Amino acid sequence: MRILIVGDVVGKSGRNAVDEHLPGLRERLKLDFIIVNGENAAHGFGITDKICQQLYAAGADVITTGNHVWDQREIMNYIDSDPKLLRPLNYPAGTPGKGSAVYEMADGRKVMVVHPMCRLFMDPLDDPFAGTELALKGHTLGQHVNAILVDVHGEATSEKQSLGHILDGRVSAVVGTHTHVPTADHQVLPGGTGYVTDLGMTGDYDSVIGMKKKNASARFATKLPQGRLEPADGDATLCAAFIETDDATGLATSIEPVRVGGKLRQVEPE
């Protein structure tokens, strides 16, 4: 299976990059399944039902989110009606939406997407490790599902790496989101799980993690309240990971970075 997982889409610039580049990537890489993290897609904070439809139209099969999932309040009344939109799985019981699901492709293959959120330097949610184990119960890779993809949304690299090693050999890939900075540690772990600590954002990199530089930088330099943070609006780089899996086992055979458009050095698998 050929899979693309796209890092956090930030604002209009990020959405434009998805519209511009994702259809071509699907064609060139012969993609079977695409996940897009959309938690910053609505002017940098959250996502709306309209933006979900825009991302689906561009090629997303599933949309993941993160700690900004509820920033646009309307999403709370929408998320239960959209099975392809996931919120982090370790929110308390009774929270709208769901944090994992199995999706059947047109050819009958089944893909499971699991979406935990870390706790170090993040909101004090339920245990993401126990929550992930519970979600995986009854879904054995290569038997019940053809691929299992984990978007772990978190700040601390150590917490993401720990989850990757714990799940090694039981899922197809563990990829990190949230920090908006792409890491260079793409690898297939010893048990056969593709891993990268952070995909990076799909946004304008002439910024402070996707936000306009002036107010964002002044917050650190002055320690005084500044104006509202707004997404940078220059050309965006679409950052993602391209993963290939073995059809028999569901384990990863490769994981490679993808960077298209904008200011970062362009990288695309041959």
**7 within a domain of the structure (yes/no):** yes
Q: Which tokens go with 249?
A: 């086992």
For residue 105 the two structure tokens come to 């492709």
Residue whose token pair is 């993690």: 209
Q: Pull the structure tokens for residue 141.
A: 């890779």
pLDDT band at 53 (very low <50, low <70, confident <90, very high): very high
Position 226 pLDDT exceeds 90: no
pLDDT above 90 covers a percentage of the chain that reads 96
Q: How far apart are CA 141 and CA 157, in angstroms?
A: 25
* Residue 202: CATH number of its domain: 3.60.21.10
The alpha carbon of 82 is separated from its chain's Cα centroid by a whole number of angstroms, namely 17
CA–CA separation, 52 and 124 (whole Å): 27
Report the candidate in 247, 264, 252 with the shortest Cα–Cα distance to residue 110: 247
111 half-sphere exposure, CB direction, 13 A CA radius: 23
Whether 140 contacts 24, CB under 8 Å = no
Locus of tokens 């209009």: 12
Least confident residue range of 83-92, 114-123, 180-189, 221-230: 221-230
Q: Name the catalytic one among 68, 153, 178, 186.
A: 68
**pLDDT surpassing 90 at residue 228:** no
Nearest Cα to Cα of residue 72 among 91, 55, 48, 95: 48
CA distance linking residue 49 with residue 64, whole number of Å: 13
Q: How far apart are CA 206 and CA 261, in angstroms?
A: 13
Indicate if the pLDDT at residue 52 is higher than 90: yes
Give the structural domain span for 113. 2-260
Nearest of 265, 66, 86 to residue 155 by alpha carbon: 66
Q: What is the mean pLDDT of the chain?
A: 97
State mean pLDDT over 133-144. 96
**pLDDT score recorded for residue 224:** 87
Q: Within a domain: residue 267?
A: no
Task: Tell me what the mean pLDDT of segment 152-176 comes to.
Answer: 98
Taking residues 179-207, report their average pLDDT.
98
pLDDT of residue 227 exceeding 90, the answer is: no
Catalytic residue list contains 178: no
Q: Is residue 128 part of a domain?
A: yes
In a domain, 178, yes or no: yes
Q: How many domains does the chain have?
A: 1
Q: What is the arithmetic mean of pLDDT over 48-53?
A: 98
- Would you state the pLDDT for residue 238? 98
Beta-carbon count within 10 A of 38 CB: 31
Half-sphere exposure of 139 (CA within 13 A, CB side): 24
Number of residues assigned to the chain: 270
Q: Check: CB of residue 128 under 8 Å from CB of residue 163.
A: yes
Confidence at 12, pLDDT banded by 50, 70, 90: very high
Q: How far apart are CA 96 and CA 207, in angstroms?
A: 33
Asked if residue 84 belongs to a domain, the reply is yes
266 within a domain of the structure (yes/no): no
Residue 184 inside a domain? The answer is yes
Q: Which pLDDT value is given to residue 75?
A: 97
CA distance 208 to 81: 34
Average pLDDT over residues 102-107: 97
164 located within any domain: yes
